[in-house]
Amino acid sequence: MIVELPETTTSQVSKTLVKIREEGGVVALGRVLTLVIATTQEGEEEAIEAANDASREHPMRVIVVSREPDDGDPATDDSRLDAEIRVGGDAGASEVIILRARGDAAQDEQSLVMGLLLPDAPVVTWWPGAAPAVPGDSPLGRIAQRRITDASTQPDPQAALHALADSYQPGDADFAWTRLTLWRAQLAAVLDQPPYEPVTAVRVRGSIDSPSTTLLAAWLSMQLGASTDCSLVGLEHGSHGIRGVHLVRSTGTIELVRDQPGVATLRQPGQPVHDVALPRRSLRDCLADELRRLDPDELYGEVITSGLSLIATGRDTDDEGVTA
């Protein structure tokens, strides 16, 4: 069910929610958190779809703060709040409140959502697109226990990653790190097998628009204490994401190379060649993963604040190992 509330207030939205629960039996009991999504109208539906899917694992209230683009015309710069409430089949296992603000109504985002937060429930704020320079000090960031950004959606993902390192506060998270879960698990499993020799050098290779490549190199450098090189390939080669990892040991080199979408090839000295499933994680998977923990991700904090300085990053013009 979708209820439209044009030219409304947050108080009227709250009253409508109560009325919907009383008439339709939709209750807030069992909601474990409030997810606040700060986005634009163009990005609304993709973010809501991911949140609805994730809500089946984490029942929650979703508040979407959607700002209209400023057209620069003073005649149309009126203060207005339009709202939309989605429950039932249109909201997964959550209830979705969309707040479309413009003019003066869009200037105080914190006031827009404060009266709609679930009482005594954690708050998570997610910026699917452009994020504040310092998420923890932003109006929506200050009310949240966790703050989720996505460096890969920024115009310069590598610069965005280093900006996140400079502004990091406990509770910050980024999907560039969440997308590494399968890579980290596979590499840890490989190194947990004989001969247990130390890794002397690491090379990580990926596209220049992949902050996950840089974070993976930083994590490996911290964990292995080895010389680590991060090679970034230009987009003119038509590939995105992580391409491969080479771990050098005295008995030979371990290679985990993704040369086709979703599948990587694992080569180890004295072992048969294996194909390993390494698909790019969906937006829903990344969001559900981050919502599993509401305490600060200490490892991510260490990697982004201390690990980036440990790696040598360079531009690689070689087109070997193209991947999706």
Cα of 116 vs its chain's centroid, Å: 24
Of 130, 149, 168, which one is at a domain's C-terminal end?
149
Q: What percent of the chain has pLDDT over 90?
A: 73
Residue 207 shares a structural domain with residue 97: no
Residue 294 region by backbone torsions, left for phi larger than 0, else alpha for psi between -120 and 50, else beta: alpha
Number of structural domains (the chain) is: 2
DSSP 63-108: EEEEEPPP---GGG---EEEEEEE-GGGSTTSEEEEEEEEGGGGS-
First to last CA, the chain: 38
In a 3-state reduction of DSSP, which class is residue 50? helix
Q: Rounded CA gap, 196 and 9, in Å?
A: 63
Answer whether residue 164 is part of any domain: no
Instruction: Write out pLDDT tens, residues 113-154.
Output: 999 999 999 999 999 999 999 999 999 999 999 999 999 999
Residue of 121, 55, 129 whose CA lies nearest to 93: 55
Among 96, 104, 106, smallest CA distance to 3 is for: 96
> Which DSSP letter does residue 219 get?
H
Is the residue at 154 inside a domain? no
Q: Is 37 helix (H, G, I), strand (E, B) or coil?
A: strand
Structure tokens at 210: 């992949």
Q: Is the pTM of this model over 0.95?
A: no
Residue with tokens 């190379």: 257
- Coil, strand or helix: which one is 165? helix
DSSP characters over 228-294 = EEEEEE-GGGS--SEEEEEEEETTEEEEEEEEETTEEEEE-TTS--EEEE-PPPPHHHHHHHHHT--
201 with 142, same domain: the answer is no
Cα(39)–Cα(60) distance, integer angstroms: 18
Q: Which domain holds residue 123?
A: 2-149
Going by pLDDT thresholds of 50, 70 and 90, the confidence category of residue 106 is: confident
| Better pLDDT: 101 or 88 | 101
Mean pLDDT of 234-247: 78
Q: Are 8 and 96 within one domain?
A: yes
Is there a single domain that holds both residue 193 and residue 299? yes
- Confidence class for position 236, pLDDT limits 50, 70, 90: low
143-182 residue pLDDT tens: 999 999 999 999 999 999 999 999 999 999 999 999 999 9
Name the pLDDT band for 183 (thresholds 50, 70, 90).
Answer: very high
Domain boundary among 132, 149, 166: 149
Model confidence pLDDT, tens digit, residues 243-288: 999 999 999 999 999 988 899 999 999 999 999 999 999 999 999 9
Q: Which of 149, 172, 194 is the last residue of a domain?
A: 149
Angle at 290 between CA 156 and CA 145, to 5 degrees: 95
How many whole angstroms separate alpha carbon 249 and alpha carbon 201?
7
174 lies in a domain? Answer: no
Q: Tell me what pLDDT residue 83 has.
A: 96
Tens digit of each residue's pLDDT (9 = 90 or more) over 4-62: 999 999 999 999 988 887 776 555 456 889 999 999 999 999 999 999 999 999 999 99
pLDDT at 250: 94
Q: Are residues 143 and 201 in the same domain?
A: no
